[in-house]
Amino acid sequence: MKIRIKNVTILTMKEQDEAPILGDILINGDIISEIGPEINTPADEIIDGSGMVAMPGLINAHQHTPMSLLRGFSDDLKLMDWLEKKMLPAEERMTPEDIYWGAKLSMAEMIRSGTTAFADMYIHMNEIAAAVQETGMRASLTRGLVFMEEDGGRRLSEALDLIEAWTGGAEGRITTMLGPHSPYLCPPEPLREVITLAEKRNIPVHIHLAETKEEVVQIRDKYNMTPTEYLYHNGLFEKSHVLLAHCVHLNRRDVGLLQGMRGGVSHNPVSNLKLGCGIAPVSRMMELGITVGLGTDGAGSATTVDMFEGIKAAAWLQKVDYGDPTRLSAHQALLMATVESAKLLNIGHETGTLEIGKKADLILIDLNKPHLQPAHNLTSLLAYSANGGDVDTTIVNGKILMRNRQLLTIDEEELFREVSVRSKRIVEGI
């Protein structure tokens, strides 16, 4: 099928195309086949992009999609109270079917707010993979691995089963990673086992790092290292492509240890702000050439998975942290949510920019809104004024998932009925 988007302002996010261009985009199957001032190639469907901006779909580099069922359930609490008194007891009640519907709720929100791909870490990943297949999104899926109690190798076996069953699944939209949860939940021996496995099979690794001060103290007391040093000395950064989530509490030596790593860091500013975790040293990491993308974390902590909120927060946090309004420009923040996050998911060769030969993952943003006029500087407008509700159309792999704000692959009435019943059961009495 061929789709032509005509008369649209195109923001490619390619390095050499910082300024937007006015023209057409031709999608042939799942690929962008033409971009130009005027395309006359016949198409099966024509979308009038007048008054809209076409840009790469946003890429959420760190998510826990089923936690949408716990949105607003545990707000304004200290981190350990949030985790131990609310999150963990509620998550223990989740069935595989709950996880499927919770993941689908997050995907509906992501499609509606312009996210086309995401990295997820959770349990019962087959259910999440099925939701990805049905909704049409692109995803990197990871079975979270915790090794603090004996499980007979069950979790690792589930992680490998996921990789075997779903790598390249859903018309190639699904990729997979190995997911040791964090330094404080992975002792040295099983951590090294996972690292060795990742290296031998060339599997990327997705792991939380230094999200809280408590983690830093815990690892220091146990191993006389920072969490970053702990991962470094266990060999995580030697050969594997690594997606590090958070990296809030890194000292200068820690940041230096990440220099030259394959992969990079998912900055999750809204979640970090809301839980009072702190401000990640994003500018310092960027100065050393470390790839820094953008994520939301799960809705259980961030409440929203609208990536436009993360774009704003990322830029504003660096400006206020340094007392310097030139830090982390609008263009850099948009790059984090597209190009850099694509690198973290190890799909930068397929998506993250609009260019001929790449996958047709793109969104159309309607500028005919009071808060998006006048358009003096489009990049600033998108970074600082736009929100997920401004996304008119979402396309992934050449398939339209949302048109004119209407979801085409998700029955929202059914979704809301399921979510209402399941979420109430999960949190009752907690």
Q: Say which range, 78-87, 170-179, 413-422, has the weakest mean pLDDT.
A: 78-87
Q: What token pair was written down for 362?
A: 């793109």
CATH number, domain of 117, equals 3.20.20.140
The confidence score (pLDDT) of residue 409 equals 98
- Number of structural domains (the chain) is 2
Kindly state whether residue 255 falls inside one of the protein's structural domains. Answer: yes
152 pLDDT band (50/70/90 cuts)? low
Q: Are residues 117 and 22 in the same domain?
A: no
Average pLDDT over residues 214-228: 97
Q: Are residues 112 and 253 in the same domain?
A: yes
Res 11 pLDDT > 80: yes
Q: Are residues 229 and 140 in the same domain?
A: yes
Query: pLDDT tens across 350-381, in order?
Result: 999 999 999 999 999 999 999 999 999 999 99
Kindly state whether residue 392 falls inside one of the protein's structural domains. Answer: yes
C-alpha to C-alpha distance for 58 and 387, rounded to whole angstroms: 12
C-alpha to C-alpha distance for 347 and 345, rounded to whole angstroms: 5
Q: Say which range, 74-78, 335-339, 415-419, has the weakest mean pLDDT.
A: 74-78
Q: Are residues 93 and 197 in the same domain?
A: yes
The domain of 256 spans 58-344
C-alpha to C-alpha distance for 14 and 171, rounded to whole angstroms: 26
The confidence score (pLDDT) of residue 424 equals 96
Task: Reduce the DSSP state of residue 236 to 3 states and report it.
Answer: coil
Query: pLDDT tens across 83-133, in order?
Result: 889 988 999 999 999 999 999 999 999 999 999 999 999 999 999 999 999
Kindly state whether residue 415 falls inside one of the protein's structural domains. Answer: no
**Predicted model pTM:** 0.97
Q: Are residues 40 and 165 in the same domain?
A: no
The confidence score (pLDDT) of residue 149 equals 76
C-alpha to C-alpha distance for 387 and 169, rounded to whole angstroms: 31
Given 319, 344, 369, the domain boundary residue is 344
Q: Are residues 286 and 376 in the same domain?
A: no
Average pLDDT over residues 317-338: 97
Res 320 pLDDT > 80: yes
Q: Are residues 67 and 43 in the same domain?
A: no
Q: Are residues 129 and 34 in the same domain?
A: no
Q: Are residues 165 and 311 in the same domain?
A: yes
CATH number, domain of 12, equals 2.30.40.10
Kindly state whether residue 302 falls inside one of the protein's structural domains. Answer: yes
Res 151 pLDDT > 90: no
Kindly state whether residue 235 falls inside one of the protein's structural domains. Answer: yes
Q: Are residues 197 and 211 in the same domain?
A: yes
By percentage, how much of the chain surpasses pLDDT 90? 94
Res 318 pLDDT > 90: yes
Given 344, 367, 391, the domain boundary residue is 344
Average pLDDT over residues 60-74: 96
Q: In this structure, which amino acid lies at residue 52? A: M
Average pLDDT over residues 160-186: 97
C-alpha to C-alpha distance for 334 and 328, rounded to whole angstroms: 10
Given 320, 344, 368, the domain boundary residue is 344
Res 82 pLDDT > 90: no
* Average pLDDT of the residues of the chain: 96
C-alpha to C-alpha distance for 412 and 261, rounded to whole angstroms: 41
The confidence score (pLDDT) of residue 79 equals 76
C-alpha atoms less than 13 angstroms from C-alpha of 389 in its C-beta half-sphere: 5
Res 17 pLDDT > 80: no
Q: Are residues 340 and 373 in the same domain?
A: no
Q: Are residues 307 and 159 in the same domain?
A: yes
| H/E run at residue 9 | strand 2-10
Angle among Cα 244, 120, 248 to the nearest 5 degrees reads 30
